[in-house]
Amino acid sequence: MSVAVETAARGDIATYYRATASLDPDKRADVLARVAGVIESIVAEEGDRVAKGQILLHIVDDEYRHRTTMARVDLEKQQARLNRAEKIHTQGLSSAEDFDAIRTDTASAEAALELAELELSYTEVRAPFTGHVVRRFVDQGQTVANGTALFSLADMDRLLARVFIPAKEFRSIRPDQPVQLVVSSTGDRLTGRIDLVNPLVDPESGTIKVTVEVTEYPPTTRPGDFVEVSIVTDSHSGSLLVPRVAVVTERGQRSVYVVDGETAHQRAVEVGFEDDANAEILSGLEPGELVVIQGQRALRDGQPVSVLDALELDTDAPATEQAG
C-alpha cells in the first residue's frame, strides 16, 4: 500500500481558547441637539468620515443671536453702573452692601452673556470625535428639541472583540498578546492583540472579560461582523510534534503508524496539546521516526507499505485522500 510520511520533530505548540464575538467600533455615540430649533442645513451624510469638531448640521440661530445681543447690552449697562458705583464707593458715599449688590448684578450679567453665547454655539452641531456617520436621524426643515438624536457616529479606526474566557483557561493571557480572528461572513483572517484584561472574575459565569483590538482589516470587514477568536492560553516549547492527521483514534485509544523499512507498525501514543496542524506526542514516539500522514486509516499493524516521494504525493494526493 502506498503511503505518505512525515518525520516526527521537535517544535513549539500552543493550546487555544476559541470563542465567537462581534466586532464593535472603538467608540460609538449618538449626537444630540443641545438647543431647540429648526434645522437649517445638513452638512454630513451617512458614510461620511468626519473629524473631531467638524460641523455636521446647522440649526436656525436668529433667536439665539438676539438673546446674545440682549445679554451683551445688559452686561454693558451693568458694567457702566459698576464703574459709577465704584467711584462713589471710593469717596465713601455708598455702603459696602450697595456696592456688593451691584458687583453681584454685574457678575450675573456676565454669566448670562456666557450662557447665551454657549447656546448660540450649539446651533452649529459638531462631531465629538473623529469617525464615520453611520446614521442620520433628522431632515432639513425639521424642528428638534433639546436632546433630540441627530446623528449616530462611530470611530472605526480600530475594532474591538470582547470575549469572556473561563477562569480555568486563564493561564498566560496578557495585554499585547497576539490573537488570531476569522471573519465568519468572508473567511478573512485578521491579526489582533489583547488590549484589556479585566482583573475581576465574574462570580456568576466564572469568566474573565478580555478585549481584543484589531487595527488593520480589509474593506470587506465591518463593525457588526461575527468572528471566531483564537487566544493562546498555554504553550509548550521543544515538544515532539507530528501532523495532527497522523493521529488515529480507535475506541478511545490514540495511535500513529510508524514506517520501519517497508512495514508500517501501529504505535500507541499519548497526545498533549493539539492545534490546527500538529499534535504534541508525550510518549510512544521518538524524534526522527516516520509517521504515516496519508493512507493511515486503511492500514493494519505490520502491513507492507511503499512510501510516496514528493512528486508522487503531489500527483496522487486527491485520489489517495479520497481512498483514505
Residues 284, 305, single domain; the answer is yes
In a domain, 110, yes or no: yes
Q: Closest by alpha carbon to 128, among 59, 58, 54?
A: 54
Query: Is the per-residue pLDDT at 139 higher than 60?
Result: yes
Instruction: Provide the residue range defining the domain that includes 87.
Output: 61-122
Highest mean pLDDT among 62-66, 195-199, 274-278, 313-317: 62-66
Report the predicted TM-score, pTM, of the whole model to 2 decimal places. 0.66
Query: What would you report as the CA-atom Rg of the chain, rounded to the nearest whole angstrom?
Result: 36
Which of 201, 236, 271 is where one domain is finished?
236
Count of H-run helices and E-run strands, the chain: 3, 21
Q: What is the DSSP letter of 204?
A: T
Taking every pair of C-alpha atoms in the chain, what is the biggest distance, in angstroms? 123
Residues 201, 256, single domain; the answer is no
Number of domains forming the structure of the chain: 3
Could you report the per-residue pLDDT of 64-120, keeping only the tens digit for each? 999 999 999 999 999 999 988 888 877 777 788 888 889 999 999 999 999 999 999
pLDDT at 302: 92
Distance CA 322, CA 324 (A): 5
Residues 20, 162, single domain; the answer is yes
Residues 184, 195, single domain; the answer is yes
C-alpha cell, 284: 510512544
Sign of CA dihedral 199, 203, 208, 209: negative
User: Could you count the other beta carbons within 10 Å of the beta carbon of residue 212?
Assistant: 26
Residues 212, 256, single domain; the answer is no
Q: Indicate the angle between helix axes 62-90 and 96-121, nearest 10 degrees.
A: 160
**Which amino acid appears at position 227 of this protein?**
V
Could you report the per-residue pLDDT of 205-263, keeping only the tens digit for each? 889 999 999 999 998 998 999 999 998 888 889 999 999 999 999 888 999 999 998 99
Residues 252, 293, single domain; the answer is yes
Residue with grid cell 505548540, as numbered in its chain = 13
Phi (first) and psi of residue 93, to 5 degrees = -100, 5
In a domain, 221, yes or no: yes
Residues 246, 316, single domain; the answer is yes
Could you report the per-residue pLDDT of 143-193, keeping only the tens digit for each? 999 999 999 999 999 999 999 988 877 767 788 889 999 999 999 999 999
Could you report the per-residue pLDDT of 306-324, keeping only the tens digit for each? 988 754 545 444 443 333 3
Residues 227, 165, single domain; the answer is yes
Phi (first) and psi of residue 87, to 5 degrees = -65, -45
In a domain, 129, yes or no: no
Give me the CATH number covering residue 276. Answer: 2.40.420.20
Distance CA 225, CA 319 (A): 37
Give me the CATH number covering residue 82. Answer: 1.10.287.470
166 strand-pairing partners? 207
- Mean pLDDT score of the chain, rounded to an integer? 90
Residues 244, 304, single domain; the answer is yes
In a domain, 93, yes or no: yes
Query: Is the per-residue pLDDT at 23 higher than 80?
Result: yes
Residues 170, 194, single domain; the answer is yes
Which of 203, 236, 269 is where one domain is finished?
236
pLDDT at 87: 83
Mean pLDDT of 185-204: 91
CA–CA distances in Å: residue 4 to residues 191, 310, 319 = 33, 9, 13
CB 16 within 8 A of CB 232: yes
CB 130 within 8 A of CB 27: no
CA count, 13 A, side-chain hemisphere, 119: 20
Residues 319, 251, single domain; the answer is yes
CB 167 within 8 A of CB 46: no
Give me the CATH number covering residue 161. Answer: 2.40.30.170
